[in-house]
Amino acid sequence: MLENVHRFVHEDVEGAVIRILDDETLSANEFLAEEHQLEEGAEYSFAYTCCYLRYRGKHILIDAGFDPDTTPGALESLDVPPEAIDLVLITHTDRDHVAGLLMPDGSFTYPNAQHVVGRDLWEYLREPETLDSLIEEVRPFFRKFVRTFDDHMELWDESTEIVDGIRLIPSPGHRVGHALYELETDSTPILHTGDAFFHPLFAEHPDWPNVTDSIPDQAVESRKALVARAVETGALILSSHSPFPGIGRIEQDGDGYRWMEGL
């Protein structure tokens, strides 16, 4: 049976990576342009996760998963009821990152939480043209999602400190308005990279485009800035889709970079 909650500690921050869907066996080549295709070892476990952090007295959730049952159930195993969540940080609004924010009756899964998202992302999502362009399967959910949260989202449009020690960093390209979140500690920060890279290859080769990004060229520029920041700060990285639990660091390796898995 797959482990669904991976607990970790970094400095005085307690955290847990939560698996919100079963892993998929994918090939890295599905994301790589023709000139970067791999001959061997391309298959890997593509994880689906969100993250809980106990940070400076606050219960924080970064993204919320695919449904309103899995993540709250994992939080209950950590003795954190949904009502205790103080802050929900949203990297982007793909369904596997936000569908867990609404209960079946349309109420908030985390009723006492402050919800944060990038301004560009939210303004793009709420455009009628954007909603109309979504596939029929997800369109009703996102119409309800925008309607329910439109007066409850806190919007940020530049790299800035949201609350004490937590910074939103715009990192567009994977999706319009995609964002990272950096949490300072006494030593190295924690950096949640959302969907900035689906595989450690993109951390080691940030200039390689991911063909599934909405704006691949923009995503490359964002990813290069992300990797440079992570190397400079020595950040502990949390990644949504790298092989579970998706925790590691990026180090300089000559003229390139190396992904180091683990704490």
Q: 155-197, pLDDT tens digit by residue?
A: 998 888 999 999 999 999 999 999 999 999 999 999 999 999 9
Which residue type does 134 have?
L
Residue 131 has a pLDDT of 95
Residue 2 has a pLDDT of 62
What is the number of other CB atoms lying within 10 angstroms of the CB of residue 161?
A: 12
Q: Using CA atoms of 23, 98, 263, 243 in order, give the dihedral in degrees to the nearest 10.
A: 20
**Is the pLDDT at 1 greater than 50, yes or no?**
no
Q: How far is CA 114 from CA 65, 103, 121, 146, in A?
A: 17, 17, 17, 16
| Rounded Cα distance, 185 and 187, in Å | 5
* Tokens found for residue 58: 């606050």
CA angle 133, 90, 177 (to 5 degrees): 55
* Mean pLDDT estimate for the chain: 95
* Tokens found for residue 230: 């992570």
| Residue 173 falls in which region: left (phi positive, over 0), alpha (psi -120 to 50) or beta | left
Domain count of the fold of the chain: 1
| Rounded Cα distance, 242 and 138, in Å | 25
Q: What is the CATH number of the domain that holds 222?
A: 3.60.15.10
From the centroid of its chain, how far is CA 129? 25
- Domain span at residue 83 reads 5-261
% residues pLDDT > 90 (the chain): 94
